[in-house]
Amino acid sequence: MEADVRQFLTVLESERRVSRHTLTAYRRDLTRVMHFCRSIGMVRWAELTDTTIRQYIGERRQCGISARSLQRELSALRGLLDFLVKCRRIHDNPARRIKSPKPSRRLPGGLNVEEVTALLARRPESALEYRDHAMWELFYSSGLRLGELVGLDCADLDLREGLVQVRSGKGGKSRLVPVGRYARKAVAAWLKVRERWAGVDEPALFVNRYGSRISPRGVQQRLARWARLSGLEKKLHPHILRHSFASHLLEASGNLRAVQELLGHADIATTQIYTHLDFQHLADVYDRAHPRAKRRK
């Protein structure tokens, strides 16, 4: 069983080019399933049945594991068993007959326009704060994921045209995203001082104080510090800026398909979570758009 998992993960990494984070999660999930199988006397994946998988899911639920985590674990198991079917090591994939538990619909948190303005209004006071300010502006301007931002190289940015090429998108997909005027100005200011930290051979757009590519954890820590210095009481993480980008753009434009492309979502259903707008906004749209809906003031 372990050898099958190792080969499956190698294929994911070399042929499908999945992210390191996904590989780590799949390895952890499949190891957990293996331990369960051994606890009930199973030694081959071919022995796995619908009943066994339901038993495993039931035990995980009793441990308080969320539906979202169980979805990921089932996805990892389905992927492995599909691989083994393709290699003709097993004849059937029983995980395909197991319905994934539905997670509760959780709306993404975000900042309103005034809060974003307050966050970005703080002026940099050091060279590294010019870097930080450029990162926050780029997050909000282009709706980048954290991994996409730290993966940017200087060559990916075209300030003249106002575009950034995202090459490290989810699922290995790349996309071209606009960069707004404020973000271009902030990035240009950072580039003027970047050479103080980055070596001539360092391609990364955003580097740490040691001159190498900044880590996701480093970005999270700097944003928390920036929010605190800006007087915001909310606990911020980088994805909140992406959520705010999506919510504000969708609310102003109503163009779900365009927002999907900008966010790099493979499925428009993922983008639709941002269509949950507050009632007052919906009422205002209703009043303006419906010919027989003009309500009395």
Active site amino acids: 145, 170, 239, 242, 265, 274
Place of tokens 């009422």: 283
Q: What is the length of the chain?
A: 297
Place of tokens 């779900």: 256
Judge whether 126 and 164 are in contact, CB under 8 Å. no
Q: Which residues contact 100 (CB under 8 A, 6 or more apart)?
A: 67, 70, 71, 74, 75
Q: Which residues contact 248 (CB under 8 A, 6 or more apart)?
A: 113, 116
Q: How far apart, in whole angstroms, are the C-alpha atoms of residue 203 and residue 261?
A: 26
Long-range CB pairs of 85-90 (<8 Å, 24+ gap) are 89/4, 89/45, 89/46, 90/45, 90/46
Q: How far apart, in whole angstroms, are the C-alpha atoms of residue 77 and residue 90?
A: 13
Q: List the structure tokens of 66.
A: 């969320």
